[in-house]
């Protein structure tokens, strides 16, 4: 570590240990997904097209570059059973969807992954602000979404009961595409009214999940009623689902939550995730760090790389901008490299998460103009 290194930087030994663990995990995951007795029909079918034997040639994480890029189009349509590894056959299975405003949504089958991911995430939450046994409010999308069940499980894992609202993001996107902005405002108000009703009904709610936009709308809705999230008893907020900017985060912390946690008693943690990968946590937000939001994937189960816009196998230098590339390696799901619809800057390993992270996540410039983002 040099004199100018930030205090949060991971030490090289931890980084090296994490890399070894990742290589070992990669090897085991590939063995599972490509072995005739345990692999899924999808990957066993793909094996023949690969031109190499993953069982023999994939020994480290870097070897995953031999795979072609994962295409999320493969996730559209049935039968979804093709994604279930034989080794997990017969277990109760969920299907979670993304997209689907028009056409066939992308589906991911899940058995226990959402529970495992959110239990791991639970251990990163400070008990002071996310007290065990506290009840939660889930202010996010309902329906066939991983997030809704995952947040409920997180709450239950921490000993609480989760209160939810009805929110159909597909209808929200339709309203935007139709230009029905008055209906959009009314629908947002309908969602916020549900949340305020729950928060003001003596349910002992101390923690919540909210997307940034809904968090802002809720805070504004409460302000109009002369109260605040803090006054309603909220002490911990887990936020994610749409883009965070440092400026929005600063506004949220300073003005909606009335200060950093040590002053306001309210802690907000931004996260980055999706149905394919799981959940990446952020370094704690500080004003000294200009409210930079840097995310770290839950390695070794998932990995985030920042790669060159032109060459998806080339990682950009630290601090440089590139496209977000995801890997998922659980017993339920295998993604050997997928180019996300986001870009960002490569961040150095953090002491708590001694591997690369990403900051400044925003829609990928190649798609930005054609994508409806941050709809709820």
The residues that touch other proteins, with contacts defined as CB under 8 A, are 216, 220, 223, 245-248, 250-251, 255-256, 290-291
Nearer to other proteins, 75 or 361 (CB): 361
Least separation in angstroms between residue 291's CB and other proteins is: 6
Paired tokens of 63: 């070897």
Nearer to other proteins, 82 or 250 (CB): 250
End-to-end Cα separation, the chain, in angstroms = 41
Residue 85 CA: distances (Å) to CA of 6, 89, 199: 43, 6, 42
Least separation in angstroms between residue 246's CB and other proteins is: 5
Nearer to other proteins, 28 or 193 (CB): 193
Least separation in angstroms between residue 255's CB and other proteins is: 6
Burial of 282 (0-12, 13-18, 19+ CB in 10 A): buried
Contact of 140 with 152, CB cutoff 8 Å: no
Least separation in angstroms between residue 290's CB and other proteins is: 6
Nearer to other proteins, 100 or 246 (CB): 246
Question: Where would I find the H helices in the chain?
Answer: 12-34, 41-50, 54-57, 113-122, 146-157, 169-178, 181-199, 212-224, 246-251, 261-264
Least separation in angstroms between residue 211's CB and other proteins is: 13
Nearer to other proteins, 170 or 250 (CB): 250
Radius of gyration of the chain (CA): 21
Could you tell me which residues come within 8 angstroms of residue 40 by beta carbon, excluding any fewer than 6 positions away?
33, 82, 83, 84, 85, 86, 334
Least separation in angstroms between residue 231's CB and other proteins is: 15
Contact of 373 with 362, CB cutoff 8 Å: no
**Listed residue (225, 351, 343, 222) closest to 281, CA to CA:** 351
Nearer to other proteins, 78 or 226 (CB): 226
Least separation in angstroms between residue 224's CB and other proteins is: 9
Contact of 327 with 64, CB cutoff 8 Å: yes
Nearer to other proteins, 16 or 371 (CB): 371
């Amino acid at each position: 570590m040099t004199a100018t290194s930030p205090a949060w930087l991971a030490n090289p030994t931890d980084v090296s240990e994490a890399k070894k663990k990742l290589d070992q995990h990669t090897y085991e995951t590939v063995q599972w997904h490509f072995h005739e007795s345990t692999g899924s029909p999808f990957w066993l079918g793909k094996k023949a097209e690969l031109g190499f034997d993953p069982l023999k040639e994939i020994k480290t994480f870097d070897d995953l570059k031999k795979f072609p890029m994962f295409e999320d189009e493969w996730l559209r349509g049935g039968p979804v059973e093709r994604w279930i590894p034989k080794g997990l056959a017969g277990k109760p299975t969920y299907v979670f969807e993304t997209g689907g405003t028009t056409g066939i949504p992308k589906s991911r089958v899940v058995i226990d992954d959402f529970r495992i991911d959110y239990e791991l995430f639970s251990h990163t939450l400070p008990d002071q602000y996310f007290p065990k046994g506290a009840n939660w409010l889930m202010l996010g999308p309902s329906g066939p979404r991983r997030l809704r069940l995952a947040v409920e499980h997180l709450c239950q894992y921490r000993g609480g009961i989760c209160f939810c609202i009805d929110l159909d993001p597909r209808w929200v996107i339709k309203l935007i595409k139709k230009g029905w902005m008055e209906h959009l405002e009314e629908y947002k108000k309908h969602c916020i009214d549900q949340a305020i009703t729950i928060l003001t009904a003596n349910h002992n709610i101390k923690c919540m999940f909210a997307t940034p936009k809904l968090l802002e709308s809720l805070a504004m809705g409460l302000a109009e009623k002369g109260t605040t999230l803090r006054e309603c008893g909220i002490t911990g907020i887990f936020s994610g689902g749409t883009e965070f900017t440092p400026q929005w985060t600063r506004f949220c912390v300073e003005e909606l939550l009335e200060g950093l946690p040590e002053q306001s008693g309210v802690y907000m943690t931004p996260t980055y995730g999706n149905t394919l990968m799981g959940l990446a946590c952020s370094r704690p937000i500080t004003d000294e760090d200009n409210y930079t939001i840097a995310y770290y994937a839950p390695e070794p189960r998932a990995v985030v790389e920042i790669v060159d816009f032109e060459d998806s196998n080339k990682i950009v230098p630290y601090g440089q901008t590139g496209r977000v590339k995801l890997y998922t390696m659980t017993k339920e799901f295998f993604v050997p490299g997928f180019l996300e619809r986001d870009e960002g800057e490569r961040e150095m390993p953090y002491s708590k998460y001694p591997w690369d992270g990403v900051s400044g996540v925003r829609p990928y410039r190649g798609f930005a103009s054609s994508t409806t983002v941050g709809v709820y």
